[in-house]
Amino acid sequence: MIITAKTCIEAWKKALKHILDEGIDFIDLDNRACREELNLIVNIEEPKDYEKLLDSMKQFEWIYPTNEELSTIIFNKEDLAIYEYSYGPRIFNFLGKKDQINDYIIPLLKNDPNSRRAIISLFNPDTDSDVLNKNIPSLMFVHYKILGGKLNCTCFIRSNDFFIGWPGNIYQMCLLQRYIAEKLNIKAGVLTTISSSAHIFHEYNEQVAEILK
Amino acid sequence: MHDIEESILNIFKNYPSKELNAEFLAEKLYPEEYKIIRELALTEDKVKLHDAKNRKFQLHRKILYYLNKLIENSILKVSRTAEKGEKYFTLQAAEGDTIIGRGYKKIIISKPTITTTDIESYESKEVMKKYGEDSWINRFNSILLECKNKGIEQIYKIISECITNVNDAIALNEFEKIINTSDVEELKRFINDISKDSDTHNKTISLIITVSETGNNFKQFIEHYSSINPRLINIVFNVGNKDVQKHSKILSYIIEKFSEQKIKINFKNMDISSAPFFKGRAGIYNFDEQEWDIYSKKYKGSIIGLVCSQSQIALNINRFFENYTTDAEFREAVLNAAKTLLLVNTIQRRKSNEYFKNINSLNQPSIAEFYHFSRNYIRFWNYDWLKDVKENDNLFELIKSSKELVDKFCHTEETIFKSCGIPIRFKIVFSSAFRNYDKKFMGDRDYKKVTVKKVEDYYVGEVKEFLHAREKMFEIMDGGDRLRIFRASDFRTQDIIHELGILLNAYKLPFFTYDFSGLKGIIKLTNFM
């Protein structure tokens, strides 16, 4: 299924409704009931309202990660001892030696704006392809492509809690997209998420209904 | 601003939330000179030793001069004075404060702050209290260090590295391994040294000893320990039901020596819990049984130990119900404490590489594993305030329902953060608080005393009912609890051994303490709890 919307909020609402209407119920390994839609693609044409998504999550009684923490996790290249993994080091210091953005994506797209090779990987088969390891990143890879003078971004998320996680993912992806676009001196364009498993846990049905009002 | 003042501030900039003493600063400011002092101090030549002492004194005096100037300018403050008048300094400047250095160079202080709006109203009513408010973000409450396969010097070095990262207790697991493999004199010196260090830093060290694993040096160790009776070092003896008969001689010796000096004896029932229990100033600490099993199979040996507790908040139940009336308000208060602990954990996580640099370097390359099973504590004071045990049923239910709410909150938060690419661990456990958590905040303890006049009482009536109520509380208190048994002075060691057998065999009480300190021979009853 492909959902296209102008803004983040609009895309989120459309996708949530689609999962609730068309998804299939199942119980996950932690015994949590959810509704799932496979291979859900969401295109956001002008993802300027990415901060508003986070505001929507802050109206509930739980504590959502702060904008600062979400930003740190994507931009801090230092491995923090307390996390098993973190996105920042994988993006900016993969295996302690590769800055995938500053040493690859930016020079590549500067050199060849038509390149289709601008991809970063967050999955490390060496540590993540482990039967006993449940703590592996959900965000697998991100592809950048310049089209019509704008930097488009496509990211692949293997397991995507569409209600709780997606707003945070969008916030982080938008920040990174804007960081690269600024370095390339162009504007940020479309943001696309491909969620292999897009799901909503039933325990949040009440809050989802609140969002969809 | 003088060069040295600026250099001192730059050191503080790297350790914005730490207490630093003149020795630490001297070593950072004058590494070459300090190296010479260290070398001179290692010799046995009296002249050289004198020289080392002199050089050190002069260096400290010089630094103290500039430290005092920084205090006068309200940039630093004395945070505490340790043994022999040694002063510790911290930044007085707040987050984001800019200090103009020499040549108008700016030194910007980055010091973490936290808004604790969720519990502020409870704090103002003295219903809730953070533990170690000044250090509750940049230090752990308690950690456990493994003694297995480590020499006595190595374990001492590790303690020295970690002691400033902890605000309550360090547990030394399998300490019998150190006793069994060390020279007796070396062992005595070690106990003296850690006793001095625990006093200097005002931290508790809990030695965990499995009675059945003790060897030749054990009696001498007990003799020495009880003779010096260190203020901040306690021992937890792991015992099982079978040990009572099999090791009755050792147990008798411990009881004899400890009771003479009025030292508390802590027992952990190994038949009920294989995970360690230990005692800090705030209360009992423990680990989750299943997680301890995973740790033992998967990680033990590759890291120096584990973080046990990150941060904690105490709730004075008596005082709470003087200010509030409903169960719903109580559950809301507990949930607000949980939210505050999450915020504290968030800052700890973000700054972990800065705050716990030395611990991380000790755990290389398996750094993350040290944090793998950490929890946070919510402790209750005067939770069994109702004199009639039967009337406490509502309280059990209230604490139980609060626990369910907190567990759900923790699970939800872990899921939310994980979904956003922040794989956190956030767990909260419940436990009772000790009065030493904060004597002023706690006030007097109001609890029911149950008198045990003869051993048979353990099986009937009030005592049996009381112990079953405590069993129930132990089930709810997943962070550990303790049953305290006060013992009159006129007892036979054999009676205690007998009682110990009953407590281990007939009741599900993971941790209990014999206290010989409070009775002073004036109370006639045999013992009470």
B364-402 pLDDT per residue, tens: 888 888 989 999 999 998 765 554 545 566 888 899 999
User: For chain B, which residues make up each domain, given as ranges?
Assistant: 3-108, 133-442, 451-528
Strand, coil or helix: B327: helix
The answer to whether A69 contacts chain B (CB < 8 Å) is yes
Restricting to B residues 379-398, those with a Cβ less than 8 Å away from any Cβ of A are none
Is A102 part of any domain? Answer: yes
Which of the four pLDDT bands, split at 50, 70 and 90, describes residue B527?
very low
**How far does Cα B115 stand from its chain's mean position?**
25
Give the rounded percent of residues in chain B with a pLDDT score beyond 70: 89
Examine the pLDDT at B116 and tell me if it is beyond 80.
no
Mean pLDDT to the nearest integer, B216-240 = 95
Angle between helices B152-162 and B184-201 (to 10 degrees): 0
Looking at per-residue confidence, does B27 or B177 come out higher? Answer: B177
Which of the four pLDDT bands, split at 50, 70 and 90, describes residue B525?
very low
Copy the structure tokens of residue B462: 């009030």
Q: Please judge whether B421 and A69 are an interchain contact, meaning their C-beta atoms are less than 8 angstroms apart.
A: no
Q: Which residues of B touch A54 (CB under 8 A)?
A: none
Cα A191 to Cα A174: distance, rounded to the nearest angstrom = 8
**A48-52, A203-207, B57-61, B425-429 — which one is most confidently predicted on average?**
B425-429
Cα B451 to Cα B529: distance, rounded to the nearest angstrom = 7
pLDDT at B526: 42
pLDDT at B520: 44
Calculate the dihedral angle through the C-alpha atoms of B233, B212, B485, B509, rounding to the nearest 10 degrees.
110
How many domains, in total, are found in chain A?
1
pLDDT at B391: 58
Looking at per-residue confidence, does B267 or B77 come out higher? Answer: B267
Q: Which residues of B touch A60 (CB under 8 A)?
A: none
Q: Please judge whether B421 and A66 are an interchain contact, meaning their C-beta atoms are less than 8 angstroms apart.
A: no
The answer to whether B356 contacts chain A (CB < 8 Å) is yes
Q: Please judge whether A84 and B368 are an interchain contact, meaning their C-beta atoms are less than 8 angstroms apart.
A: yes
The answer to whether A131 contacts chain B (CB < 8 Å) is no
Q: Please judge whether B417 and A161 are an interchain contact, meaning their C-beta atoms are less than 8 angstroms apart.
A: no
Distance (Å) from the alpha carbon of A68 to chain B's nearest alpha carbon? 10
Q: Please judge whether B356 and A62 are an interchain contact, meaning their C-beta atoms are less than 8 angstroms apart.
A: no
A140 exposure class (CB count in 10 Å sphere: 0-12, 13-18, 19+)? middle
Examine the pLDDT at B109 and tell me if it is beyond 60.
no
CA-based nearest residue to A15, from A34, A39, A40:
A40
Which of the four pLDDT bands, split at 50, 70 and 90, describes residue A211?
very high
pLDDT at B524: 34
pLDDT at B250: 94
pLDDT at B113: 56
Is A26 part of any domain? Answer: no
Point out the least confidently predicted range of A115-119, B89-93, B411-415. Answer: B89-93
Cα B345 to Cα B338: distance, rounded to the nearest angstrom = 10
Point out the least confidently predicted range of B17-26, B232-241, B251-260, B501-510. Answer: B17-26
**B412-460 per-position pLDDT tens digit:** 899 888 888 888 899 999 999 999 999 888 887 666 677 777 778 888 8
pLDDT at B392: 60
Indicate the pTM of the whole model: 0.79
Cα B239 to Cα A209: distance, rounded to the nearest angstrom = 55
**B142-158 per-position pLDDT tens digit:** 999 999 999 999 999 99
Q: Which residues of B touch A73 (CB under 8 A)?
A: 420-422
Is A200 part of any domain? Answer: no
Which ranges of B149-217 does DSSP label H, i.e. alpha helix? 152-162, 175-181, 184-201
pLDDT at B447: 64
The answer to whether A25 contacts chain B (CB < 8 Å) is no
ipTM for the predicted complex comes to: 0.86
Is A208 part of any domain? Answer: no
Is A74 part of any domain? Answer: yes
Q: Which residues of B touch A135 (CB under 8 A)?
A: 423
Q: Which of A34, A82, A193, A201 to probe by mutation at the B interface, max B CB count within 10 Å?
A: A82
Nearest-CA residue of chain B relative to A136?
Answer: B423
Copy the structure tokens of residue B124: 């103002």
- CB burial of B377-390 (b: ≥16 within 10 Å; e: otherwise) equals bbbbbbbbbbeebe
Looking at per-residue confidence, does B125 or B45 come out higher? Answer: B125
The answer to whether A120 contacts chain B (CB < 8 Å) is no
What range defines the domain where residue A85 resides? 60-138
> For residue A203, which amino acid is it?
E
**CB B244, CB B232: distance < 8 Å:** no
Per-position DSSP letters for B13-72, written without gaps between them: HHSTT--EEHHHHHHHH-HHHHHHHHHHHHS--HHHHHHHHHHHHHHHHHHHHHHHHHHH
Is A104 part of any domain? Answer: yes
Is A199 part of any domain? Answer: no
Give the rounded percent of residues in chain B with a pLDDT score beyond 90: 46
Span B3-108: which CATH code? 1.10.10
Restricting to B residues 443-502, those with a Cβ less than 8 Å away from any Cβ of A are none
Q: Please judge whether A87 and B415 are an interchain contact, meaning their C-beta atoms are less than 8 angstroms apart.
A: no
Distance (Å) from the alpha carbon of B83 to chain A's nearest alpha carbon? 33
Q: Please judge whether A78 and B353 are an interchain contact, meaning their C-beta atoms are less than 8 angstroms apart.
A: yes
Mean pLDDT to the nearest integer, B115-129 = 85
Q: Please judge whether A81 and B419 are an interchain contact, meaning their C-beta atoms are less than 8 angstroms apart.
A: no
**B272-323 per-position pLDDT tens digit:** 999 999 999 999 999 999 999 999 999 998 899 999 999 999 999 888 988 9
The answer to whether B215 contacts chain A (CB < 8 Å) is no
